[in-house]
Structure 1
Amino acid sequence: MSDTRAEWMGRYEGEVARIFAEASGGLPALPASLTGLAAALLEKFNPVSSNGRGADGGTNYICFLLPLWLKEQTGCGDELCRDLAIGNVYAMLHFFLLDDAMDAAAAAGVGETRRSLALGQMFYEGFRRRYERHFPTGSSLWQRYGAYLTDWAAAVSEEGERLAEPGDPAALARKSAPVKLCAAGLLLLSGQTDRLRQTEEAVDLVLATLQLSDDWADWREDLAEDGEKRNAFLTLVRRTLPPAAEQPLDERAVNQAVYRNGCLRDLARIARDHHAALTKLPNVPRALLSFHEEIVIGLERDARGAAELEEKLALEGGLSVLLSNLAKK
């Protein structure tokens, strides 16, 4: 385990195991038709389970770790932070199922979509119950939730209408805006609401970098699904083409942008700029900084690998062959 990962994950593994164990037994009573799917999802997203992957990390990790990372700074107790983390697991799965249903509505069968939406609503009920232990219906926290939910709704409803802007961290983070609710809640209960704006800015920077990393990882899938406009990495690729170029992107154009035009290097530079901005903000939890640093290092490693391969093949005269072969995959 790397030093950065040990800082943001290693020391919390025991608590994360407890959070998922309690989440598995703390849902509202489910009908028999949904129990298997619920158990499978909780197992899949559990990063400390032998069968879990944290659903490949990213935004999912920050959902249930952010309350733990903020615990010391806010002075909030173990039970409160655990309840918010469990609530965030439920909320994460609620939005995952909702997004999945929206994306797959045309391909999925009616029964599958119905089950996903029904289970998503049960996860939402679990989220509300956990949060309402500490924030009753009249709490001002629910006004913040309304604002975050509006940001999420705008992001998903407008997705694909215009090019995703890689240089706008606030816009990149909007789809994950509900993640910030636990931070707002902990600051509210600890009497530190004056820190809310800067904390939101810090979390937005991390969420934006996560989105950039996801867009790099998912560009082939997005390209195949006619999703160029929702992918910020592909926006960078598009900008390497002549201004008058209107042809759809293809894999060859993207690979050329990576290996000849340095698009991945540009993406990594944006992420590094986010980290520089993050370090200048006050009171950013060290674990959040370490989490972000690991994502940036991963992008920089990929960019460095692409540059080294380009240089090697250019010297050997094989770059054109590489681009041709990649385009055929």
Structure 2
Amino acid sequence: MNLTEAYAKEIEAVFAEAAEEIGRFPAPFDEKGQALLEAANPLRANAGTNLITFLLPFWLKESASADEGLCKDLAVGNVFAMLQFFLLDDVMDEGDRLGRAKVTEALVLGQWLQDSFQRYYGRRFGTEAPLWPYYREYLAAWATAVSREGASPADPRDPSGLAGKSALVKLCAAGMLSMAGREDRLPVLEEALDLVLATLQLSDDWADWREDLADENRNAFLTLAREKLAWPEGQPLDERAVKRAVYQADAVGELAGIVRTYGERLRELEGVPGVLLIFCDKIYEGLRRDAEEAEETVVRLALGGGLSYILSKKEK
């Protein structure tokens, strides 16, 4: 199943409403917000990995006995939260390079997005609703994960740690279950979502390893590459070493194996919506294909005497 195609109608409606809301931002934040929104729309750009952020309310609709309007409001609110955290990540990662004017612009736009998130969730949950303690809990988990990022190597086998930066994705689940009187189901669903978000983070780390080489502790795939190579402690990895891990030490195969284990754990949990299993399976299949392609490339180049070329030149 192609989840983007399967939920195209919902995505179109959610992003159309978000665009209408952003259109009411003051200039120039209306145009800048629209550009950011367009780049995150999987129907317009290659942004499929963020599907869970704004489709999760629809994926939980049956298990939470929710109506379509609730799902849409929470999905639109999630889009605003997602965009705000995109901007925060950019400022934290690239603030020195962006310069004062760009940082100011990002923070101001982020404040407008935060206000929109609060208003869309506020349509369904009053100030005293049981949702908001969960919001503070998830925000604290995000803050802890961000503040500790890079202090020690990211652990590819720690799903709750990997999911920390995405903790607020779970907020709609807490809200929907509390509204349905099913908060007793939340611990299991939180565990399931940690496994799903960890799977997504591992996939992102594999895709981003080159960008993360300068701060390799942030990237769980690089932790795995160092492990597979038995790389000396204190010696930074370089691109050639990581390619050795990919093409000679089956690091991507190991990564796919960890993701498969997360999927197996997910299946053992009671009442997990089937679409979450599909989402994880899609990520696993992509990693497995990448591992197979790496193995096939090594065999082909070794037969042709070109293995040294791939280690020094070939791009992922």
Asked if these proteins are the same fold (TM beyond 0.5), I'd say yes
Separation (CA, whole Å) in 2 of partners of 1:197 and 1:28: 38
Q: 1:254 to 1:26 in 2, by over 3 A?
A: same
Q: 2:114: which partner in 1?
A: 124
Equivalent pair of 2:54/2:78 in contact (CA under 8 Å): yes
Q: Which of 32, 35, 52 is equivalent to 1:37?
A: 32
2:159 corresponds in structure 1 to: 169
8 Å Cα contact 1:97/1:116 also seen in 2:
yes
Residue in structure 2 matched with residue 26 of structure 1 by the alignment: 21
Q: CA deviation at 1:245?
A: 4.5
Deviations 1:286-308 (A, max 9, x none): 11111111011000000011011
Percent of residue pairs bearing the same amino acid type: 51
User: Aligned to 1:258, which of 227, 239, 246?
Assistant: 246
Whether 1:276 and 2:271 are equivalent positions in the alignment is: no
Q: Quick check: 1:57 aligned with 2:17?
A: no
1:85 to 63, 66, 75: 75
Native 8 Å contact 2:23 2:30 kept in 1: no
Could you tell me which of 218, 223, 239 is aligned with 1:230? Answer: 218
Cα–Cα, structure 1 residues 326 and 12, in superposed 2: closer, same or farther, change >3 Å? closer
Aligned equivalents of 2:304, 2:145: Cα separation in 1:
45
- Tell me which residue corresponds to 1:290: 278
- Cα shift at 1:29: 4.1
The residue aligned with 2:96 is 106
Given candidates 218, 225, 234, the residue that maps to 1:246 is: 234
Distance 1:244 1:76 in 2: 53
- Would you say the 8 A contact 2:23–2:31 is kept in 1? no
1:241 Cα deviation after fit: 3.4
C-alpha distance in structure 1 between counterparts of 2:19 and 2:185, whole Å: 33
| Whole-Å separation in 2 of the counterparts to 1:147 and 1:238 | 33
Instruction: Look up the SS of the partner of 1:42 in the other structure.
Output: helix
SS at match of 1:86: helix
Q: Answer with 191-200 or 307-316: which moved more.
A: 307-316
Distance 1:253 1:15 in 2: 44
Tell me the secondary structure at the aligned position of residue 240 of structure 1. Answer: helix
Determine the C-alpha separation between the residues in 1 that align with 2:228 and 2:193: 30
> Which residues in structure 2 correspond to 1:155-166 (within 5 Å)?
155-166=145-156
Aligned length: 316
What's the RMSD between the two structures over aligned residues?
1.6
SS of aligned partner of 2:7: helix
Note the C-alpha offset of 1:244.
4.1
For 1:224-272, what per-residue CA distance to the aligned partner results, in whole angstroms no more than 9, with x for missing partners? xx11000000001111334645321111100001111111110000001
3-state SS, counterpart of residue 246 of structure 1: coil
What is the aligned counterpart of 2:105 among 97, 115, 118? 115
Secondary structure at the aligned position of 2:192 is classed as helix
- Paired with 1:256 and 1:137, the residues of 2 have a C-alpha distance of 54
Q: Which has the higher contact order (CA 8 A, sep 6+)?
A: 1
- Quick one: distance in 1 between partners of 2:57 and 2:310? 45
Contact kept in structure 2, 1:251 and 1:326, CA below 8 Å = no
* Paired letter, 1:16: I
* Deviation of the 1:206 alpha carbon: 0.8
The amino acid across from 1:154 in the alignment is: T
**Structure 2: tracts of 5 or more residues without a match:** none
Give the ranges of 4+ consecutive aligned residues of structure 1 lying more than 6 Å apart after TM superposition: none
Aligned to 2:138: 148
- Structure 1: 5+ residue runs without aligned partners? none
Amino acid at match of 1:68: F
Question: What amino acid does structure 2 have at the position aligned with 1:31?
Answer: P
Please state whether the residue corresponding to 2:210 is helix, strand or coil.
Answer: helix
Distance in 1 separating the partners of 2:61 and 2:298: 45
1:69 and 2:64 aligned: no
Contact 1:162/1:229 (CA < 8 Å) preserved in 2? yes
- Quote the offset at 1:132 in angstroms: 1.0
Indicate if the aligned counterparts of 2:160 and 2:194 stay in contact, CA closer than 8 A. yes
TM-score, normalised relative to structure 1: 0.92
Q: Taking structure 1 as reference, are residues 210 and 165 closer, same or farther at Cα in structure 2, changes over 3 Å only?
A: same
Asked if 1 retains the 8 angstrom alpha-carbon contact of 2:240 and 2:312, the reply is: yes
The residue type paired with residue 32 of structure 2 is L
1:71-100 deviation per Cα after TM superposition (whole angstroms, max 9, x unaligned): 122111111110000000001011111111
1:284 positional shift: 1.2
Contact 1:28 1:122 in 2 (8 A): no
Supply the distance in 1 between the matched residues of 2:158 and 2:204 (Cα, whole angstroms): 16
Q: 1:237 and 1:187 mapped to 2: Cα distance? A: 40
- Going from structure 1 to structure 2, the CA distance change for 1:195 and 1:83 (only over 3 Å counts) comes to same
